[in-house]
């Protein structure tokens, strides 16, 4: 999801991955699947097949780990602040963890073409000294919106395939 806000002379662009389930919905899903799995395992344990129980516990543990890791990664966010003097990028999952600063006059957006029709374009902020990929967690449609928002904020776009218009 890409949102763009103007705050005086600054433009604030927020990049977030699409999220189909909230943290609470993920936990409810885990409770439902764990309950069914444990009830089946206890049924078979009651009839003497006790070896089912450890594997059911392992299945629940792996499913919980994967589901919570995926849920956490959907809260990843990049905030790009384009000002008159600098372009600042903050990145983190629930709060800013990393921060980059690019001088505004030297900064441009490098648009990397998709290698195949199924791939998404790449977006990089560059200033000659450093390079940062932005929106790596976005789908193709959101990457195009991010590219347009960065261009609308006044940053120059450079295409690695300059002979193609977009």
Q: Is position 48 within any domain? A: yes
pTM: 0.80
Q: Is the pLDDT of residue 28 over 90?
A: yes
Residues 87 and 155 in one domain: yes
Residues 85 and 151 in one domain: yes
Higher pLDDT, 160 or 163: 160
Residues 110 and 68 in one domain: no
Cα separation values, 6 from 15, 27, 87, Å: 15, 36, 14
Joined together, the tokens standing for residue 136 give 């790596």
pLDDT averaged over every residue in the chain? 92
Other Cβ atoms less than 10 A from the Cβ of 113: the count is 12
Structural element, H or E, at residue 100: strand 98-103
Q: Is the pLDDT of residue 166 over 80?
A: no
Counting the structural domains of the chain, the total is 2
Other Cβ atoms less than 10 A from the Cβ of 121: the count is 18
Q: Which of 10, 44, 73 is the last residue of a domain?
A: 73
For range 78-97, the mean pLDDT? 93
Residue 165 has what pLDDT? 56
Q: Is position 45 within any domain? A: yes
Q: Is position 66 within any domain? A: yes
How far apart (Å, rounded) are the C-alpha atoms in residues 74 and 89?
18
Q: Which domain holds residue 59?
A: 23-73
Q: What is the pLDDT of residues 112-153, one digit of tens each?
A: 988 888 888 999 999 989 999 999 999 999 999 999 999 999
Q: Is position 166 within any domain? A: no
Residues 102 and 38 in one domain: no
């Amino acid at each position: 999801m890409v949102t763009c806000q103007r705050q005086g002379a600054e433009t604030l662009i927020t990049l977030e991955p699409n999220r189909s389930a909230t943290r609470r919905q993920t936990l409810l899903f885990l409770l439902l699947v764990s309950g069914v799995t444990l009830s089946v395992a206890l049924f078979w344990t009651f009839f003497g097949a006790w070896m089912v129980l450890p594997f059911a516990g392992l299945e629940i543990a792996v499913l919980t780990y994967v589901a919570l890791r995926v849920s956490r990664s959907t809260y990843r966010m990049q905030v790009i602040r384009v000002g008159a003097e600098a372009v600042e990028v903050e990145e983190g999952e629930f709060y800013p963890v990393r921060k980059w600063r690019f001088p505004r006059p030297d900064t441009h957006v490098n648009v990397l073409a998709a290698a195949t029709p199924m791939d998404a374009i790449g977006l990089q902020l560059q200033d000659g000294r450093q390079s940062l990929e932005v929106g790596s967690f976005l789908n193709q449609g959101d990457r195009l919106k991010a590219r347009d928002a960065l261009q609308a904020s006044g940053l120059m776009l450079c295409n690695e395939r300059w002979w193609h218009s977009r």
